[in-house]
């Protein structure tokens, strides 16, 4: 294990072994204090990286970045260069390490550049170590990078995250200093739970909807699904276990510390979770993990589905983000301490968190709104799209009486004994409310809204931005406070002002939506409308105030999210029309012909004395025929939807997709389910859900 972990990563340990102390010191200053990197140090690092990577068999290098597609990208180059005598040499300089120049013309830009402005720039993120990925015949050095357009506009998802980390560090240090709690830095720590589905590749290839849209648009509910609750935490199927073992080995080589693997609630659904890491590293590793999931699954005859709702009748897949803050002395800022000072720190950070989330919760909803999440949020094991924070009984007591908490009069976590013969366990400060979008779970906040396919860099940046703004408000309220009593009074006032965001009940309850409206919380109506809130003036000013993104860059991201939504629903519409035309209606007609042939061939000598003998069979065929006719009507309706989708701007098209096309697809799916249940298996050429599932 020790020799395998991070064996394909040029991490800090390898730097310490290969760099002179002075060069290492300058690099650490760049990484930790966000200072510019000395060109000579860059050359030294590049030289050592080349020596190490060539010894590992590396033939190419690439600047690996996160464009606004939500995926990753990179242009691969060899180490070959010409010498003056036209002799080929192997070369990798500091400039090669630090800067790349990809063609940015085909990446989403949301109107931030003219058509003829094609150049873009990648720049190494020294906070994230380089790593290598071995393929069958080549080995590539990956350099984690940020991505800019020729005009300086931000064209990636990671840059906002890196900027937000600096603000979280700066304001957190101010809070700690106010209470004489010294620290060199405060880092955002993140643990990501990744859910996914697996299906056999042979089944995947025969399902146009899975291949095109990543989800089953049409399919009958199997008799046995997740209703027995027997898949969750159950025995992992042998073929899946082999896949997970191979995946974990590759992940360990890349320094991804996977801690947990288990069956999720739905059949064919699984989850992986690594140890906590610094936020930017966690975001990189999650992107890598998604690539590994898809690549290694193919090697084992399976396909990994990262869509948020591959099967409409099963739980969807999320990506739960566990968020906390840790200082240079190893203290968790979200853990109540034993001293008055540490409890004041905890109370300040808790207040800042609630303050920021309450004031700017629409930002996170807009960032997390997506075509897949529209189908998932509000379903089983997924929170509703209305944002609220669950604190639990103990923390709610702290919020209600902060003075008593600071004085040490609060319910501390205790050892609890459930049975005499069972060892006592530590009772956590809060439960895990599965219906809440954000829940305090001991010493961290768990964000349950992110979708399983989401790139985490921008959502974490949005969380950090909200919290940084809330901590700024806290600092402004307490910095001039004369004594502890004044500090507590100021914090109590902020907690009261932002109590609307706290909800400790059942977020699925019938009255929660109306309660949320009365509290002034944003209640999303549709994904397009939620996305457009990204351009609300308070949100734009927030990004500008902290220099995370410009007004133009926010508008571009809004445009791109709307465009992606339209294109996603358009693909679903096209594949649905194709399946109705090429598979479903022909199968139904073939089955109808078989039924009619059976009736025509029925012996007349049996029928003559009992003319009503076949009435039920005629009625069955009549009802079945009505469903076929209805399917043809739906096909015509979807054809008409396709024509109308060409009208208007992207925002209007997105509204049409959400308000008309997706409801039509859902109605068509309900009808097709009834048809599929009545069609002979020899007529139905598509793999059924009951055949796709494995245990």
Task: Looking at the structure, give the CATH architecture of the domain made up of residues 9-156.
Answer: Roll (3.10)
pLDDT digits (tens, 9 = 90+) for 513-536: 999 999 999 999 999 999 999 999
Among 245, 261, 339, 348, smallest CA distance to 300 is for 245
* Higher local confidence (pLDDT), 209 or 433: 209
Mean pLDDT of 394-402: 92
Q: Which residues have CB under 8 Å from 96's CB, separation 6+?
A: 46, 61, 77
**Alpha-carbon span 541 to 547, nearest angstrom:** 10
**Alpha-carbon span 395 to 415, nearest angstrom:** 18
DSSP annotation string for 115-175: TT--BEEEEE-TTS-EEEEE-SS-EEEEEEEEEEETTS-B-BSHHHHHHHHHHHHHHHHHH
Decide if pLDDT at 425 tops 60. no
Q: Does domain 163-210+231-549 have CATH number 1.10.600.10?
A: no
- CA-derived radius of gyration, the chain: 28
* Higher local confidence (pLDDT), 317 or 510: 317
**Alpha-carbon span 460 to 466, nearest angstrom:** 10
Report the pLDDT value the prediction gives residue 422, as an integer from 0 to 100. Answer: 61
Tokens of 44: 């030294």
Q: What is the pTM of this model?
A: 0.93
| Pairing mode, strands 438-440 and 389-390 | parallel
How far does CA 30 lie from the centroid of its chain?
Answer: 29
- Alpha-carbon torsion, ordered 42, 48, 53, 58, to 10 deg: 60
Report the pLDDT value the prediction gives residue 442, as an integer from 0 to 100. Answer: 82
Report the pLDDT value the prediction gives residue 417, as an integer from 0 to 100. Answer: 60
Report the pLDDT value the prediction gives residue 480, as an integer from 0 to 100. Answer: 87
**CATH number assigned to the domain covering 567-692:** 1.20.120.1560
| Choice among 393-397, 407-411, 557-561 with the minimum mean pLDDT | 407-411
| Choice among 344-358, 363-377, 402-416 with the minimum mean pLDDT | 402-416
Report the pLDDT value the prediction gives residue 167, as an integer from 0 to 100. Answer: 96
Tokens of 614: 């076949």
Report the pLDDT value the prediction gives residue 92, as an integer from 0 to 100. Answer: 86
Decide if pLDDT at 428 tops 70. no
Residue 9's pLDDT band (boundaries 50, 70, 90)?
A: very high
Decide if pLDDT at 224 tops 70. yes
Decide if pLDDT at 323 tops 80. yes
Residue 409's pLDDT band (boundaries 50, 70, 90)?
A: confident
Q: What is the mean pLDDT of the chain?
A: 91
pLDDT digits (tens, 9 = 90+) for 125-144: 998 999 999 887 889 999 99
Mean pLDDT of 408-415: 67
Among 21, 349, 423, 427, smallest CA distance to 188 is for 349
pLDDT digits (tens, 9 = 90+) for 239-271: 999 999 999 999 999 999 999 999 999 999 999
Length of the chain: 695
Mean pLDDT of 286-293: 97
Mean pLDDT of 537-560: 96
Residue ranges per structural domain of the chain:
9-156, 163-210+231-549, 567-692
Report the pLDDT value the prediction gives residue 85, as an integer from 0 to 100. Answer: 73
């Amino acid at each position: 294990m020790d020799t395998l972990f991070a064996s394909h990563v040029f991490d800090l340990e390898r730097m310490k072994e290969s760099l002179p102390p002075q060069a290492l010191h300058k690099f650490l200053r760049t990484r930790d204090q966000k200072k510019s990197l000395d060109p000579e140090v860059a050359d030294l690092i590049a030289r050592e990286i080349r020596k190490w990577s060539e010894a590992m068999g590396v033939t190419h290098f690439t600047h690996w970045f996160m464009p606004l597609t939500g995926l990753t990208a990179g242009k691969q180059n060899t180490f070959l260069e010409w010498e003056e005598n036209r002799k080929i040499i192997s070369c990798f300089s500091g400039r090669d390490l630090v800067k790349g120049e990809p063609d940015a013309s085909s990446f989403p830009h949301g109107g931030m550049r003219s058509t003829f402005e094609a150049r873009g720039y990648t720049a190494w993120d020294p906070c994230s170590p380089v790593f290598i990925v071995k393929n069958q015949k080549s080995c590539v050095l990956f350099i984690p990078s940020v991505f800019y357009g020729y005009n300086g506009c931000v064209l990636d998802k990671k840059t906002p995250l890196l900027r937000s980390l600096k603000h979280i560090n700066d304001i957190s240090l101010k809070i700690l200093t106010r209470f004489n709690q010294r620290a060199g830095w405060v880092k955002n720590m993140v643990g990501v739970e990744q859910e996914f589905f697996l299906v056999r590749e042979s089944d995947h290839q025969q399902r146009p909807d899975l291949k095109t849209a990543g989800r089953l648009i049409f399919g009958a509910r199997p008799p046995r699904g997740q209703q027995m609750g027997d898949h969750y935490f159950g025995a992992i199927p042998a073929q899946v276990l082999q896949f997970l073992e191979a995946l974990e080995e590759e992940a360990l080589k890349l320094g991804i510390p996977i801690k947990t693997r288990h069956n999720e609630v739905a059949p064919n659904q699984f989850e992986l979770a690594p140890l906590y890491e610094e936020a930017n590293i966690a975001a990189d590793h999650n992107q890598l993990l998604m690539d590994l999931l898809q690549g290694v699954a193919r090697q084992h005859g399976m396909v990994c589905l990262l869509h948020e709702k591959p099967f409409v009748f099963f739980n969807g897949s999320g990506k739960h983000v566990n968020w906390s803050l840790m200082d240079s002395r190893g203290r968790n800022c979200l853990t109540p301490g034993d001293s008055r000072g540490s409890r004041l720190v905890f109370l300040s950070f808790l207040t800042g968190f609630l303050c920021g989330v309450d004031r700017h919760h629409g930002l996170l909803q807009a960032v997390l709104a997506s075509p897949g999440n529209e189908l998932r949020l509000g379903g089983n094991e997924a929170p509703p799209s209305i944002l609220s924070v669950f604190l639990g009984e103990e923390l709610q007591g702290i919020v209600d009486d902060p003075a008593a908490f600071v004085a040490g009069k609060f319910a501390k976590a205790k050892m609890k004994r459930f049975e005499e013969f069972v060892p006592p366990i530590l009772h956590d400060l809060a439960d895990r409310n599965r219906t809440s979008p954000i829940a305090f779970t001991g010493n961290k906040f768990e964000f349950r809204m992110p979708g399983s396919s989401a790139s985490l860099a921008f959502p974490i940046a949005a969380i950090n931005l909200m919290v940084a703004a809330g901590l700024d408000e806290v600092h402004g309220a307490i910095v001039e406070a004369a004594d502890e009593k004044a500090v507590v009074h100021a914090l109590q006032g902020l907690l009261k002002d932002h109590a609307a965001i706290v909800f400790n009940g059942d977020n699925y309850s019938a009255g929660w939506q109306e309660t949320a409206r009365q509290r002034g919380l944003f209640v999303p109506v549709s994904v397009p409308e939620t996305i457009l809130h990204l351009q609300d003036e308070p949100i734009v000013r927030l990004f500008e105030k902290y220099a995370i993104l410009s007004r133009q860059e926010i508008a571009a991201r809004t445009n791109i999210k709307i465009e992606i939504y339209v294109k996603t629903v358009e693909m679903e519409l096209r594949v649905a029309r194709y399946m109705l035309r090429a598979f479903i209606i022909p199968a139904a007609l073939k089955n109808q012909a078989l039924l009619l042939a059976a009736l025509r061939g029925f012996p007349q000598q049996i029928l003559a004395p009992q003319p009503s003998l076949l009435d039920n069979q005629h009625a069955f065929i009549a009802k079945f025929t009505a469903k076929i006719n209805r399917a043809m009507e739906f096909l015509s309706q979807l054809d008409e939807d396709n024509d109308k989708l060409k009208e208007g701007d992207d925002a209007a098209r997105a509204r049409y997709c959400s308000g008309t096309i997706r409801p039509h697809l859902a109605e068509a799916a309900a009808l097709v389910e009834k048809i599929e249940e009545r069609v002979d298996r020899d007529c139905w050429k598509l793999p059924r859900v009951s055949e796709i599932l494995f245990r």
